[in-house]
Amino acid sequence: MKEIRSSGTWGSALSTDEFAAIRAVGFEPVGQVLGAAVYNIGFSGGYNCPGAWSGFGSYAQAYRSVTQVSGRGGYGSFGPLTQAMYDARHLAINRMVTECAELGGHGIVGVALTIGSFPAGGMEFKAIGTAVRAPGSPPLQTPFSSDVTGQDFAKLISSGWVPAGLALGISVGARHDDWLTVGQTRWGAGNAEVVGYTELVNDTRHDARQQLEKDVRRLGGEGVVVRRMDMRVHERECPIQEHGKDHIVEATIVGTAVVRFASVAKPPPPLAILSLDPQRRQAARVRL
């Protein structure tokens, strides 16, 4: 970082339009920044069946299952896996923010968060973006991070809002396929709602939104601008019931927490003007 800062040049992941938008609101890029972490997921916490509840085990599963989400915990939930995903992403983001501070930046725009398998084992969590600064302004104790584009960043600043940081909402939900779900997904069931699947996706998304709100409050934000919402669904063999199936849903919400820093005066309302020329008024009536 010292070498880059003393070189007198900077790199970025900005497009031409993004660069022009950032410069228009008084910011300039200082360099491309990166943070990464490779995690081994050794324990997910979801090895038990989410339907094995209240001590009835497979008896309860056969008739009416329950949905378990990581935010609530419970038997068979994926709380430890979700916590590891938070820790890995926060570690990558914090390393990226550290690079931004060392380059003299006030924050990061256009952050791309990615996750992929690592060839030697584990998962690689990566955050990459462009550090920017407002020349002449004092350094911030902690630079902000955001996934908004350069144009959207300029719109936020022009409207009196500033990014506070990247906010994450992550939830993993699980549900055992009970007799009702199996019956509603048979070929002869016709066109009908699969109640268990609806409950699974709704509960998981709701939990992800709740976790996002907690992260916004942690960052001191007043609100959040959501840029990406992802959901993945997969099926697995039930670990405690032969021939049984469980469905797992992973919901992820990524956005930028924002804080108001200035009141922007509202533009005056449009002024209606009536022409006093009778010929013009007559022409306007004819056109209508």
Q: Which segment, 77-81, 173-177, 250-254, is predicted with the most confidence on average?
A: 250-254
* Mean model confidence pLDDT for the chain: 85
- Note the pLDDT tens digit of each residue in 93-131: 999 999 999 999 999 999 999 988 888 888 899 999 999
- Note the pLDDT tens digit of each residue in 49-75: 775 543 344 444 455 678 888 888 766
Q: What percent of the chain has pLDDT over 70?
A: 84
Q: Which segment, 9-13, 74-78, 169-173, is predicted with the most confidence on average?
A: 169-173
pLDDT given for residue 282 in this prediction = 67
User: How does residue 275 score in pLDDT terms, banded at 50, 70 and 90?
Assistant: low
pLDDT given for residue 54 in this prediction = 37
pLDDT given for residue 179 in this prediction = 79
Judge whether 125 and 92 are in contact, CB under 8 Å.
yes
- Note the pLDDT tens digit of each residue in 196-240: 899 999 999 999 999 999 999 999 999 999 989 999 999 988 877
The structure's pTM equals 0.80
DSSP string, 141-206: SS-EE----HHHHHHHHHTTEEEEEEEEEEEEEEEE--HHHHHHTSGGG-S---HHHHHHHHHHHH
